[in-house]
Structure 1
C-alpha cells in the first residue's frame, strides 16, 4: 500500500499564482510553463525545458522576471525583429560591454531588422540567411537605408554611389545573428541555429604598417619633449592598449620592482561618459615587467604631475590616474588620438593609428627573435593563436631570412674549402 505524501511536502512544492507550472515529461526532461509579456503588449504562455526541475524552473523564472520588468519575451513563433529586440535588451545587455552593446544595437537596427525582421524565427532557414548576407554585400547602403531620399543624391538622382558594406562588416552582422539564435537554441526554443549552417568567406585581415626600428627611435626622440612622453614610451615599449594605459592608477605601478599591474581600462561610453571598467578579457588582466626607460620616464612624470597639482590647487581632481589632464582629470581617448596625430606630424612620420604602436611593439620583438609565448603574455592575448595570426606576416619574413641564411651556408665557397663539421646536435 502506497503511503500518501505529507501535506507539508505537497505544499512545499506548490507554486504561487502566476509563477507557472513545472512537471516532468515522459522523456524524463522537465518542462516549465507560464504566462509572460509578448510583443504587441499581449500575454502569452511559453514553455521552457531542462534536464532537471531546477534548470527548467530557473529558465522560467528568468523569463517571468524579464516580463515583469516590461521586456517582451519572444518565442520561436515571434518574428526575427521581435526576437532580436528581446535578446538585445533582455539577454545580451547583461553580459556585453556598453560600447559592444551599442554596436550590436546599430547592427540590428540598420541591417538585421530591415533584412530579416518580418520573418518568423521558427521558419527562418539557412537559405534566408545566405540570401540576406548576399544582398548586404551587393546592395548600396546609401540607398537601402534611404540616406539619399532627403538630400537628393545617389539613387534619388539616378547616380548610385555604390556604397557597400566591407566584408568585415558583413561578417560582423552574421556573428550578431548567430549569437542571438544560439541563445534561442540554448533555451530550447529552436532545434538548431540555422545561421551557423551559413559559411561566410573569411575577411582579409586589416593591414597595418607598424613603425620600423628607425621610425620608432625617431618617434621617441620627438616625444621626449612632450608632456605625455611617459605615455608614448609606455605604449611603444610594452604594447599596452590605449584604454589600459589611460586606466592605469599609481597603485598599479611598482617602480622599485619595475612592474605594472593591468587591471582596468578607461573607455568613453554613451551613457556614462569616461568610465573605468575591467580589461578587455580575463587574459588581459596581467602583470608586466617595465623597461628601465619606462621606469625613469614614469618617475619624471610623477614629479611633473606633483607640480601641476600645486599649480591647480583646489581645481585639482584627485583621480589617482597616472596620465591625466593638467587639472588631474582623466584623459579622453579621442583627445589622445588627436595629440598623437600632431606628434607624428612633428616627427615627420606617416600617419598611423595609436593602436599601431602596439603592433609595432610586437613586430619589433618578433624580429629580434623573442618567443611568441612571451609576446602573447605581454600583449594580454587570450590565445597564442591570436598572436600568431595577427603577426603572420612577420613570421613569414623571418622564415625568408632563415632560408636565405641557410642558402648562404649551402652555397659553394670560392676557395673550395669545406667548413669545419658541426659539433652541436640540432634539437
Structure 2
C-alpha cells in the first residue's frame, strides 16, 4: 500500500483506491455548456492515476471542456463556434459557419453524440441537404462539420473524424466567363462620368476586392511615388460595418500604381476636398478615399450597385464586381505579364486560382491570333 500523501488543495482533485485495487482520480472539469462536473480517471497505480489527474487539471487551467460523457453535436458545435472559430477566424468566416451550424447541421445531426456519430449518419445528412437545398450547400456543410470535428479531435473529445471518411457531394464549378479585353475597355469608357469611376479603375487595374476598395485610406496612397498599400478592408456582417485585415496575400501588400489610376485618384481627392468644405461641421473625417458627401465610408453594396448599373447602361454583360478582378488578369496577360506576377498583383493564395483565369484569357488570345492568321491566309489565297 502506498504511503499516506498530503491532501491536495481545493480544486486539485482527489485520488482514492477502489475495492478492486485500482486507483481513481476525481477532478471538477468544464463542460461544453459552461457548467462544471466531476470527471473520473482510472489507473492501475497511484502514479498512473496522478498523471491523468494532472492532465485533467491542465485542461481546466486552459479552459478546455472535458465532458463527463460524450457531448451532443448540438452542444459542441455552438461551443466550437464561440470559443474556437470566433476568436481566431474572420467575422465573415464565423458568420458563414454559424449559418450552416444553425440551419443545417444542428437540425439534422444535433441529437447525435460525438462518440456515436457514424459515417452513415453524416452521409444521410448530406444526402438530405443535397435533396432539399443544393449540392453546393451540402458540400459547404460537410466542410464546416469536418472542421468542427477536427477541433474535437484536437480536444481529445473523439478519436477520429468521421466526416473525413465521407466523400462530399460533387458540385459543378461555375463556368468562368470574364469580360474580354474589349468589354473591359468599353466599361471603363462608360464609367468615366460615374462618381465611383476611380473605384472601378482600381478594381480593374489592380484587382481590388470590394472590401479593399471601400477600406482604402489616403495614408496608404502615394500618388507621387505611384504606390498603393493594401492594409485594410471594410465588411458588413450581421448589420454591423467593421474594418478587417485584407484577405490572403493582400496582407501588408504594396503595389505600384498604374498611370491610369493616378488622374482619377487626384480627381477623387479634389472632389472630396470640395465636399469637405461644403459639408462644414457636418463633415466626419475618416481618412477613407471613397466617402459619402459627409465623409463617412461608403457601403460596400453601393459600389456593386453602381458597377451593375453602369454595365447595364452600357449594354454589357452584367458580371459580379469580384469577377471584374479577372479583367485585371485579362489586361496583364494581354500585356505579356507572367502568371506568377499576375498572382502577386491579384493577391491569390494559390497559383491554381490564377492559372484558371490565365488559361481562359490565353485561350481568348489564341482564338484572336488564329482569327488574324485566318484572315491573312484568306487574303493571300484570294490573290492567287
TM interval, short-chain normalised: 0.7 to 0.9
Q: Deviations over 1:173-221 (max 9, x none)?
A: 0010001000111112211111111122442222342222222122111
Gaps of at least 5 residues in structure 1 are 1-9, 23-30, 68-72, 141-163, 408-412, 415-427
Classify the secondary structure of the residue corresponding to 2:323: helix
Give the equivalent residue in structure 1 for 2:179: 211
Counterpart position of 2:45? none
Does 2:230 correspond to 1:236? no
2:137 aligned residue? 169
Residue 353 of structure 1 deviates from its aligned partner by 1.2
Shift in CA distance, 257/56, structure 1 to aligned 2, threshold 3 Å? farther
Aligned in 2, Cα 1:216/1:83: closer, same or farther, shift over 3 Å? same
Partner residue in 2 for 1:90: 83
After superposition, where does 1:331-342 map in structure 2 within 5 Å? 331-342=298-309
Gaps of 5+ in 2: 16-24, 42-50, 375-379
Q: How does 1:348-367 map to 2 (within 5 A)?
A: 348-367=315-334
Aligned position for 2:192 = 224
Aligned residue in 2 for 1:289? 256
| Whole-angstrom distance in 1 between the partners of 2:26 and 2:256 | 53
How far residue 169 of structure 1 moved from its aligned partner, in angstroms, is 1.7
In the alignment of these two chains, the number of paired residues is: 355
Per the TM alignment, residue 46 of structure 1 is displaced from its structure 2 partner at its CA by: 7.8
1:376 is matched with 343
Indicate whether 1:61 and 2:70 are aligned: no
Q: Tell me the distance in 2 between the aligned counterparts of 1:171 and 1:390.
A: 23
Residue 184 of structure 1: which of 152, 166, 181 is its match?
152
Tell whether the 8 Å contact from 2:339 to 2:358 is kept in structure 1 after alignment.
no
Contact 1:93 1:101 in 2 (8 A): yes
| Structure 1: distance between partners of 2:68 and 2:258 | 55
Deviation, structure 1 residue 125: 1.5
Distance 1:78 1:216, change over 3 A: same
Q: Distance in 1 between matches of 2:245 and 2:54?
A: 32
Is 1:36–2:12 an aligned residue pair?
no
The answer on 1:245 being equivalent to 2:239 is no
Q: What residue number does 1:193 align with?
A: 161
**SS of the counterpart of 2:89?**
coil
Q: TM-score, normalised by structure 2?
A: 0.82
Residue 117 (str. 1) matches residue 110 (str. 2): yes
**Superposed displacement of residue 383, structure 1:** 2.3
Structure with bigger helix share is 2
TM, length-normalised to structure 1: 0.74
Partner of 2:246: 279
Pairing 1:106–2:99 present: yes
Would the alpha carbon gap of residues 282 and 186 (structure 1) be closer, same or farther in structure 2, given more than 3 Å must change? Answer: farther
Displacement after TM superposition at 1:358 (Å): 0.7
CA gap 1:328/1:37 in 2 versus in 1, 3 angstroms: same
Cα distance, 1:106–1:119 mapped onto 2, change above 3 Å: same
User: In structure 1, how many angstroms separate the alpha carbons of the residues matched to 2:373 and 2:10?
Assistant: 80
Partner of 2:10: 17
Please identify, of 200-209 and 346-355, the stretch whose mean Cα deviation from structure 2 is larger: 200-209
Judging changes above 3 Å, is the alpha-carbon distance between structure 1 residues 340 and 197 closer, same or farther for their aligned structure 2 residues?
Answer: same
Aligned-pair CA distance for 1:53: 11
How far is 1:346 from its partner? Answer: 2.4
Displacement of 1:374 in angstroms is 0.5
Instruction: Quote the Cα distance in structure 1 between the aligned partners of 2:334 and 2:10.
Output: 69
Q: Using a 3 Å threshold, how does the CA distance of structure 1 residues 18 and 225 change in structure 2: closer, same or farther?
A: same
> Is 1:79 aligned to residue 46 of structure 2?
no
Which is bigger in relative contact order (C-alpha 8 A, separation at least 6)? 2
RMSD of equivalent CA atoms: 3.4
Bigger shift: residues 236-245 or 184-193: 184-193
The structural deviation recorded for 1:390 is 5.1
Assess, with a 3 A threshold, how the Cα gap between structure 1 residues 392 and 124 changes in structure 2: closer, same or farther. Answer: farther
